[in-house]
Amino acid sequence: MKHTWTLTKIRIRLAMRNRAFFFFSLLMPMIFLFGAVALLSRSSREWVPYILGAVLTTTVMGSFWGLSVQLVTFREQGILRRFRLPPVGAGPMLASSILSNYFMALPVVVFEVVLCRLVFHMQSWGNLWAIFLLVTVGSATFSSLGLIVASVTNTMQETQMINNLIWMAFLFLSGATVPLAIFPGWLQRVSLFIPAQYLATGLESAATKLATPNEVLEDFVALALGFWVAFEVSRQLFRWEPEAKVPRRAKLWVLAALVPFLVFGSWESVTGRRLKRIGANYQTLSLMSRVQRRTEAPDK
């Protein structure tokens, strides 16, 4: 634990000296937030909590990109192999990257929530506890998934290619950028198997306060299980040396990381509860936004 903390501190320091970190971790989510608010909440400020949920989701999911790229860079440059000499195992190396990423994402998350409430006039703070829990577990899950990608790819080019493919699915099939409710039924079912969906739905529910504690708990448990399995898989696949290759059989471990979401996806697909929840959230929003437009219209 001591090594994990030592490494976490130094990783935070290094990130603070990196301009790319500020651009991708701070500026990009802000651009997304301001852009979405300008575009959507002009018609109704009821959209703001939804936008907040989506922005928080992309902020948290950003750890997927950041950590995989960092790990591959460190391995390619021979930095990792220097850390292999002292008594530091793969666990502290990976855990420290997840923790540092989380600690750096927290202020951004706080800033986004405060901005929505105070500047964009979000009507309530949302369910802050649920937001905190989901951001925490989501950050750990997506960091671990990024670390798995970094462990099975050999070059930065390969990493970026795979990252892009997965990122697109996360972004467009999670509900973070396009409401899932407008998708055809079969595509909605596919989304149930995507980790990002649990984060996006959870954070949307937490920001809009539309979910019951049990529903938020379901999202939390799915992400927590996902994290636990993904972290263990990334630890098993971790490579210190640039020339070390992952054996083909070991790559099957990657499939293990998907098991929690396959299980949850199948369960949700059978019960249909999550899709109902997503549909209901969307209808509530549409209704509220229509009502607000009508009540605001006579004033104009």
Partner 1 sequence: MGEPIIQVEDLYKSYGDVEAVRGVSFAVQEGEVFGLLGPNGAGKTSCVEILEGLRTADRGKVRVCGLDPETSGERFKEKIGAVLQSTSLPDKLRVMEAIELFAQFYRKRANTDDLLRRFQLDEKRTAFYGHLSGGQKQRLALAMALVNDPEVVFLDEPTAGLDPQVRREIYDIIEELKRGKKTVLLTTHYIEEAERLCDRVAIVDHGRVIAQGTPRELKQRSAGTTRIEVRLARPLTDGMLGRLEGVAGWREFDGTFVLHSVRPPQTIVALVKQLEAENNELQSLEMFSPSLEDVFIELTGRRLRE
Q: Looking at beta carbons only, is 5 or 129 nearer to partner 1?
A: 5
Least CB distance to partner 1 at residue 93 (A): 11
DSSP assignment, residue 45?
Answer: G
CB atoms inside a 10 Å sphere around CB 222: 26
Work out the angle at residue 181's Cα, subtended by the Cα atoms of residues 140 and 163, and round it to the nearest 5 degrees.
35
d(CA 196, CA 182): 17
Q: Where are the alpha helices (DSSP H) in the chain?
A: 2-16, 19-21, 28-40, 48-76, 79-84, 90-114, 128-152, 156-173, 185-191, 195-208, 213-237, 252-271, 273-296
Per CB under 8 A, 298 contacts partner 1:
no
Per CB under 8 A, 20 contacts partner 1:
no
Least CB distance to partner 1 at residue 89 (A): 9
Q: Looking at beta carbons only, is 10 or 38 nearer to partner 1?
A: 10
- Residue span binding partner 1 (CB under 8 A) among the ranges 8-16, 106-114, 115-123, 267-275: 8-16
Per CB under 8 A, 3 contacts partner 1:
yes
Per CB under 8 A, 209 contacts partner 1:
no
Contacting residue, 10, 27, 39, 128, with partner 1 by CB under 8 A: 10
Phi–psi pair at 200, nearest 5 degrees: -65, -45
Work out the angle at residue 101's Cα, subtended by the Cα atoms of residues 88 and 215, and round it to the nearest 5 degrees.
115
Q: Looking at beta carbons only, is 70 or 139 nearer to partner 1?
A: 70
Per CB under 8 A, 18 contacts partner 1:
yes
Least CB distance to partner 1 at residue 1 (A): 13
Residue type for position 5 = W
Residue type for position 239 = R
Per CB under 8 A, 262 contacts partner 1:
no
Per CB under 8 A, 1 contacts partner 1:
no
Per CB under 8 A, 6 contacts partner 1:
yes
d(CA 113, CA 131): 10
Touching partner 1, residues 35-74 (CB under 8 A):
74
Counting every residue, how long is the chain? 300
Least CB distance to partner 1 at residue 108 (A): 20
For partner 1 (CB under 8 A), the number of binding residues is 22
Per CB under 8 A, 79 contacts partner 1:
yes
d(CA 223, CA 217): 10
Distance of CA 117 to the CA centre of its chain: 22
Instruction: Return residues touching partner 1 (CB under 8 A).
Output: 2-3, 6-7, 10, 13-14, 17-18, 74, 77-79, 81-82, 84-88, 240-241
